[in-house]
């Protein structure tokens, strides 16, 4: 039976390793996923092909032949580095056979390559230094690994194959072909990746607008080795949102209905003044991708506190917030995470008074690996999108309240966040500006498919929401509209 994107029959999951990798690189992930899904982790003959055949096309044919031999008609392909490149190339060549893709630090657009400047006789110290480009945590660079790579690179014939495979990957640039892919796609990247820098994840995202993306902080080029538990959790959620799975009795079990959760609150509590003030009292809910959610309630009920916790601006005293299944408490670099994943809109705008509108919009972009020309281009495009292209060189004092809020909205979108949080965005505006800002937020939600959470007293804001969370005395007392169940 042919699989489709929405809650379809269970596919086989096949995980592909990189150039110097092996099947056991996926050991933890395969074990975790194997409890719910059929998982295959083949050894790819990266350096075992005849020299004249060494290249990405031959690996694609090898995986296709493997699928044929095992009678696998449809597959979810996951791959790290070169394995991701092979997965992409196979999906482009045989689109009906690939149900979904899970790409981890994938090549296919660009990589700096382990093969750069390989000396004639590489020493173990040279290999150790190259491995520091692959792994963020040096504890992953073991003597066994160094000896294994040294053994490969001490063989001139193998070195020639490494260079030939790397050259094949370099020339097999998939940028122009990627828009032909329409299957579900997951991108998982290490924030400290030096081989395929995490900016490449955004390049892939530009080519694949349907892709879901997760960036793992303090992690290098091989998250499946450095952070296998986190990678497994992200993959599990992705698979559950798109496919049915095999139940304990052998029958297909429907995947959870509705949109996959982007952010969840689990038993969320926040107290102040040594516990005397209880701002939040055990909030539990999940917000799905692409939802527009309004949080309403009287002053002092905990709305803004809740928003600060969802946005990692504050830490709970009990419970946790999960982003794509990952607890915020487990993220070491919260400022970096916020800069990449979350946009904020505040009632008081919080624009820097000595910077122009264009410069204010660019401020969050300094967390991204973009050159000055790219930051300026993006900021100009965003100001045009909010109707302020002709006001880009004005200081905030020369702008009306509604215009300042539109600059703030443009700034919140600077790094293409997955979650947009707005705290009383129309609270300081007149009715005409109020309507313009509300229309703009609704347009962003509908056109970009962005998840938006708005704290508001304004009935007109709540009126356009997919869902309303009502709060009283630190508790959610009503949840109306379509909702995603917390797991």
Q: What is the pLDDT of residues 81-135, one digit of tens each?
A: 999 999 999 999 988 889 899 999 887 775 444 445 556 677 888 888 888 888 8
Together in a domain, 276 and 181: no
Together in a domain, 248 and 284: no
Pairwise CA distance, residues 307 & 216, whole Å: 22
Q: Are 389 and 380 a contacting pair, CB within 8 Å?
A: yes
Three-state DSSP class for 123? coil
Tokens of 236: 């599990």
Q: Are 349 and 408 a contacting pair, CB within 8 Å?
A: yes
Together in a domain, 174 and 267: no
In the prediction, which pLDDT does 483 show? 45
Together in a domain, 246 and 279: no
Together in a domain, 249 and 267: no
Burial code (b: 16+ CB inside 10 Å, e: under 16) for 53-85 equals: ebbbebbbebbeeebeeeeeebbbbbbbbbbbb
Kindly report the three-state secondary structure assignment for every residue of 217-280.
CCCCCCHHHHCHHHHHHHHHHHHHHHECEECCCCCEECCCCCCCEEEEEEEEEEEEHHHCEEEE
Q: Which of these, 241, 286, 234, 247, lies nearest to 6 by C-alpha position?
A: 241
In the prediction, which pLDDT does 1 show? 23
The enclosing H or E element of 447 equals helix 431-448
Count other C-beta atoms under 10 Å from residue 224's C-beta. 30
Q: Are 425 and 441 a contacting pair, CB within 8 Å?
A: yes
In the prediction, which pLDDT does 197 show? 81
Q: Write down which residue in 253, 280, 295 finishes a domain.
A: 253
Pairwise CA distance, residues 260 & 140, whole Å: 33
Q: Is 327 exposed, middle or buried (0-12, 13-18, 19+ CB in 10 A)?
A: middle
Residue showing tokens 């995986």: 63
- Considering the domain boundaries, does residue 433 fall inside one? yes
Three-state DSSP class for 250? coil
Pairwise CA distance, residues 69 & 48, whole Å: 20
Residue showing tokens 């005409």: 432
Three-state DSSP class for 288? strand
Mean per-residue pLDDT over the chain, rounded? 82
Together in a domain, 399 and 432: yes
- Considering the domain boundaries, does residue 127 fall inside one? yes
pTM over 0.75: no
Together in a domain, 168 and 44: yes
Together in a domain, 339 and 440: yes
Q: Where are the beta strands (DSSP E) in 310-466?
A: 318-323, 326-327, 342-346, 419-423, 451-455
In the prediction, which pLDDT does 429 show? 65
Pairwise CA distance, residues 161 & 139, whole Å: 28
Pairwise CA distance, residues 85 & 207, whole Å: 15
Sort strands 38-40 and 75-80 into parallel, antiparallel or unpaired: unpaired
Q: Which of these, 127, 137, 128, lies nearest to 162 by C-alpha position?
A: 127
Cross-strand partners of 215:
189
- Considering the domain boundaries, does residue 210 fall inside one? yes
**Does the CA dihedral 197-341-357-387 come out positive or negative?**
positive
Q: What CATH number should be reported for the domain holding residue 304?
A: 3.40.50.300
pLDDT means over runs of 10, the chain (487 residues): 35 89 88 87 84 84 92 91 93 90 84 53 81 83 81 76 77 85 90 82 84 86 89 86 51 40 90 89 89 88 93 92 87 84 86 93 86 91 89 93 88 89 78 74 79 82 80 86 49
Together in a domain, 206 and 131: yes
Three-state DSSP class for 134? helix
The enclosing H or E element of 11 equals none
In the prediction, which pLDDT does 102 show? 96
Q: Write down which residue in 191, 220, 253 finishes a domain.
A: 253
Three-state DSSP class for 402? helix
Together in a domain, 164 and 203: yes
Count other C-beta atoms under 10 Å from residue 299's C-beta. 7
Together in a domain, 377 and 268: yes
Together in a domain, 312 and 436: yes
Tokens of 464: 């356009």
In the prediction, which pLDDT does 362 show? 94
Sort strands 277-288 and 419-423 into parallel, antiparallel or unpaired: unpaired
In the prediction, which pLDDT does 324 show? 84
Q: What is the pLDDT of residues 419-449, one digit of tens each?
A: 999 888 877 666 676 677 777 888 888 777 7
- Considering the domain boundaries, does residue 1 fall inside one? no
Tokens of 333: 């670099």
Sort strands 212-216 and 342-346 into parallel, antiparallel or unpaired: unpaired
- Considering the domain boundaries, does residue 40 fall inside one? yes
Cross-strand partners of 75:
12, 98
Binning the chain into helix, strand and coil, the percentages to the nearest 5 are 40, 20, 35
Sort strands 475-481 and 467-472 into parallel, antiparallel or unpaired: antiparallel
Q: Write down which residue in 253, 283, 299 finishes a domain.
A: 253
**Cα distances (Å, whole numbers) of residue 438 to 388, 434, 455:** 16, 6, 13
Counted domains in the chain: 2
In the prediction, which pLDDT does 118 show? 58
- Considering the domain boundaries, does residue 310 fall inside one? yes
In the prediction, which pLDDT does 209 show? 80
In terms of residue numbers, what domain contains 119?
12-253
Q: What CATH number should be reported for the domain holding residue 119?
A: 3.40.50.1820
In the prediction, which pLDDT does 300 show? 87
Q: What is the pLDDT of residues 251-300, one digit of tens each?
A: 333 233 345 688 999 999 999 988 888 999 999 899 988 888 989 888 88
Residue showing tokens 């007149």: 430
The enclosing H or E element of 331 equals none
In residues, how long is the chain? 487
**Cα distances (Å, whole numbers) of residue 73 to 69, 96, 462:** 10, 9, 47
- Considering the domain boundaries, does residue 223 fall inside one? yes
- Considering the domain boundaries, does residue 26 fall inside one? yes
Q: Is 51 exposed, middle or buried (0-12, 13-18, 19+ CB in 10 A)?
A: exposed
């Amino acid at each position: 039976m042919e699989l489709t994107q929405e809650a379809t029959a269970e596919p086989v999951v096949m995980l592909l390793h990189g150039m110097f990798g092996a099947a056991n690189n996926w050991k933890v992930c395969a074990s975790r996923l194997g409890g719910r899904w059929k998982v295959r982790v083949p050894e790819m003959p990266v350096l075992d092909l005849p020299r004249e055949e060494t290249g990405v096309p031959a690996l694609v044919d090898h995986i296709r032949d493997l699928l044929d031999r095992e009678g696998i008609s449809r597959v979810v392909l996951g791959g790290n580095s070169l394995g991701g490149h092979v997965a992409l190339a196979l999906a482009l060549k045989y689109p009906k056979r690939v149900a979904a893709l899970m790409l981890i630090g994938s090549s296919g657009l660009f990589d700096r390559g382990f093969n750069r400047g390989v000396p004639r006789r590489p020493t173990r110290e040279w290999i150790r230094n190259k491995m520091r480009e692959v792994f963020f945590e040096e504890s992953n660079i073991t003597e066994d690994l160094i000896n294994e790579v040294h053994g490969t690179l001490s063989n001139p014939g193998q070195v020639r194959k490494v260079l030939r495979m790397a050259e094949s990957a370099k020339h097999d640039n998939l940028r122009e072909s990627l828009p032909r892919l329409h299957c579900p796609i997951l991108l998982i990247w290490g924030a400290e990746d030096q081989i395929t820098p995490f900016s490449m994840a955004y390049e892939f995202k530009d080519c694949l607008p349907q892709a879901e993306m997760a960036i793992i902080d303090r992690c290098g080029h091989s998250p499946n080795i450095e952070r296998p538990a986190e990678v497994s959790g992200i993959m599990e959620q992705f698979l559950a949102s798109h496919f049915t799975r095999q139940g304990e009795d052998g029958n297909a079990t429907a995947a959870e209905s509705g949109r996959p959760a982007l952010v969840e609150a689990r038993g969320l509590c926040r107290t102040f003044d040594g516990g005397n003030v209880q701002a939040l009292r055990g909030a539990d809910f999940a917000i799905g991708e692409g939802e527009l959610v309004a949080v309403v309630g009287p002053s002092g009920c905990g709305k803004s506190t809740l928003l600060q916790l969802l946005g990692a601006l504050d830490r709970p005293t009990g419970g946790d917030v999960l982003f794509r299944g990952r607890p915020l408490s487990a993220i070491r670099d919260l400022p970096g995470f916020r800069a990449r994943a979350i946009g904020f809109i505040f009632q008081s705008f919080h624009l820097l008074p000595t910077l122009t509108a264009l410069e204010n919009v660019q401020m969050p972009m300094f967390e991204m690996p973009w050159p000055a020309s790219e930051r300026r281009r993006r900021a100009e495009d965003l100001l045009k999108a909010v109707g302020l292209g002709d006001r880009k060189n004005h200081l905030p004092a020369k702008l009306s309240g509604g215009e300042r809020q539109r600059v703030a909205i443009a700034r919140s979108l600077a790094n293409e966040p997955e979650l947009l949080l707005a705290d009383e965005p129309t609270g300081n505006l007149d009715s005409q500006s109020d309507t313009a800002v509300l229309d703009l937020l609704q347009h962003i939600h509908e056109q970009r498919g962005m998840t938006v959470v708005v704290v508001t007293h304004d009935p007109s804001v709540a009126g356009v929401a997919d869902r309303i969370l009502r709060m009283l005395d630190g508790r959610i007392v009503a949840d109306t509209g379509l909702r995603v169940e917390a797991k």
